[in-house]
Amino acid sequence: MMSATAVASVLITHEVGLHARPSVKFTKLAKTFAARVEMALDADGPWIDAKSIVKVMATKAPKGTTIHLRAEGEGASAVVEALVALVERDFDEGDHAKSA
Amino acid sequence: MNDRPPIVLNGIAASPGFAAGPLCRLDTALASYAPKATRAEEIEALVGAIAAASAAVAELIARADGESADILEFQLAMLADDSLAEPALAAIGQGEDAASAWTRALDNEIAGYEASGDDYFRARSADLTDIRDRVLRVLTGAESGAVPAGAILAGEDIAPTRFLETDWSAGGGIALSAGSSASHVAMLARSRGVPMVVGLGDALSALAGEVLLDAKAGTLTGFAAPADIVRHRAAAAAFAAARSSAAAYLSKPARTADGTPVLAYVNVADPSDVEAIDVTTCDGVGLMRTEFLFSRGLPDEETQYRAYRKVLEWAQGKPVTIRTVDAGGDKPVPGFTVAEGNPFLGLRGIRLSLSRPDIFRVQIRALLRAAVHGTLKVMFPMIAVASEYERAKAMFAEEALALSALGTVHRMPPLGIMVEVPSVAIAPEAFSDVAFFSIGSNDLTQYVMAAARDNASVAALNDTSHPAVLRLIREVADFGAARGISVSLCGDAGGDPALIPHLLEAGLRELSASPAQLAAAKAAIAGVML
């Protein structure tokens, strides 16, 4: 299996930032991929395991924070894309989910 | 049975009922941990305790709902993450025992959250504390069978998750040295019919063994004499009989002895409360509190919308009166309320909402969108002057326009006000254009009598049946009748059989009670001759 790497950054627009429920969704999604995926609040690190809710919550990223993602291994670009999309959708919790 | 003289502690009844059983302390978990012989056994003990705690939380999730389930999902994810125990496992490798290694590791995490500059993250320290204690209880054996069926849980306070995970089917109750009858646990206890007394003071720690909880009078008796036990059993039986005879009234419309119809609503604190209520037994929701949504930080629009919609759909077209968030006072919300020297007279209720339009507008949009799913009415808490109502009403109009521009489905509900600040009750003519009045008897009483409702030492003054309070209620009822504005009452008095005759005599015909008090309220209404 070829090893691949992927990087991306995304702005958190969710009202209270990367809080409990979004963090649960974020880490659960990350864990569905085999690739090693890390997250940082600064492009230079420190990098933490994006599959660990303990570590992700501990970054205490409020609204308006840009998070950086990097992944390595099988499905690296897919996991980064999926996580960026989740953050951009406000973790499926915001105003985007309009009622019928 | 024993030679000690009985000890009777006086507190405040937070949820009526009677219980007799062994006193079980909530806060002595750590004292009894017995270190193991080897490091490997310590590691095994910690890993096993975390697994057992996870299993317990997972089981709770199956029974929980809404906000409670979200809190538990988060706790479960934290427990399932190996990183959480890593520092503790390393410390055990250095020779520390499992309980103190875990405590130190979690205290470190908790300190990290407490140091956060962000209120929301700071508030998560309560979740970490809950996780820490849950594992400690397993480690020290406090969890495994140490809470006997029908026990009286005692401590300074009790976490909502602890209440939710307790099996109340065999009876039991709650006795707190501190606590508040306005806390979320107190609301949960009332809606589940679990007897609870708060404010028993530090002397609670002197009691042990079998105790008698009288959550009607607000007392806890230890080292009871046989005569005390007989009396307690009789009172408990009379209470149960009154409750079951009241239950016969539950399915019938509320009417006085002379046939005057009265609208009987329920108060709802948590959207999941309605699951246990048969909608045919009430005339709708007289007060849906929204503070529970804010108890874990600021809820987003979608979370609020879902909660409001759930209750509106449950009501099947009956009116549902939702109160905009009444934070402040004794109900702090991280990231929203401010610390004040005299919070009951400070920035709370509508005052706080108007000062934080960014937060208030989120709630307004959620209410406007939810309104299409039933018969919604919205009321504002702590209104003191008419301009507050006008400003809130204008914000509703602005948000409705914005939703129209987006093509989002919504509806403007009737907007009313709580009557709880004496200025409104004394001079209601300033509010001739509100859609309805709802008397908040708890706050109206505490402001008229200048006696805080969460302070045991002035509890006797905090009396809704005082002529000054009843006169104001009568005047508001008369004003509403003259102007064609409906007047209801949604405080604890609305479910209190002793006060209901006074309220009906004062002219009220719409009362709202907690679900557990609804049957007794209807029975009391049926006994009144107008």
Closest partner residue to A95 (CB to CB) among B82, B124, B301 is B301
The pLDDT of residue B123 is 67
Mutation to test the B interface, candidates A12, A18, A21, A49, most B Cβ within 10 Å: A21
Question: Is B83 in contact with A94 (Cβ distance < 8 A)?
Answer: no
Tell me if B244 is assigned to some domain.
no
A14 is catalytic: no
Q: Point out the catalytic residue in the list B232, B373, B490, B502.
A: B490
Check whether residue B359 and residue B474 sit in a common domain: yes
B13 lies in the same domain as B39: no
Contact with chain A for residue B298, Cβ under 8 A: yes
Q: Is B270:B187 a contact under the CB 8 Å cutoff? A: yes
Cα–Cα distance between B512 and B494 in angstroms, integer?
Answer: 5
**Interval B116-146: pLDDT, tens:** 777 677 767 778 888 998 898 888 876 544 5
Average pLDDT value over all residues in chain B: 90
Whether B418 has a pLDDT exceeding 70, the answer reads yes
Give the closest of A19, A58, A93 to B120, CB-based: A19
**Is the N-terminal amide bond of A46 cis, ω within 30° of 0?**
yes
How confident is the model at residue B36, as a pLDDT?
Answer: 87
**Residue B50, in any domain of the structure:** yes
Instruction: Report the alpha-carbon distance of residue B438 to residue B285 in Å, rounded.
Output: 12
Q: How many domains, chain B?
A: 3
Name the percent of chain B lying above pLDDT 90. 63
Predicted pLDDT of residue B505? 97
Question: Which of B78, B107, B139 lies at the terminal end of a domain, its last residue?
Answer: B139
pTM of the model: 0.57
Taking a C-beta distance cutoff of 8 angstroms, is the pair B444, B425 a contact? yes
Domain span at residue B222 reads 7-26+145-239
Task: Report the CATH number that the domain containing residue B323 is assigned in CATH.
Answer: 3.20.20.60
C-alpha separations of B335 from A16, B28, B130, B237, B327 in Å: 9, 32, 21, 47, 11
Digit-coded pLDDT (tens) for B460-497: 899 999 999 999 999 999 999 999 999 999 988 999 99
pLDDT exceeds 70 at position B28: no
Candidate from B70-74, B191-195, B424-428 with smallest mean pLDDT? B70-74
Across residues A34-62, what is the average pLDDT? 90
pLDDT at position B518: 93
Evaluate if residue A99 carries a pLDDT over 50: no
β B196-198/B173-176 pair status: parallel
Please give the sequence-ordered ranges of beta strands (E in DSSP) within B6-76, or none if there are none: 7-10, 12-15, 18-25
Give me the domains of chain A, ranges plus CATH numbers.
5-92 (3.30.1340.10)
Residue at which a domain ends, from B109, B139, B169: B139
Fill in the amino acid letter for B433: D
Q: Does residue B1 lie within any of the structural domains?
A: no
pLDDT digits (tens, 9 = 90+) for B264-278: 999 998 888 888 789
Q: Is B420 on the interface with A (CB under 8 A)?
A: no
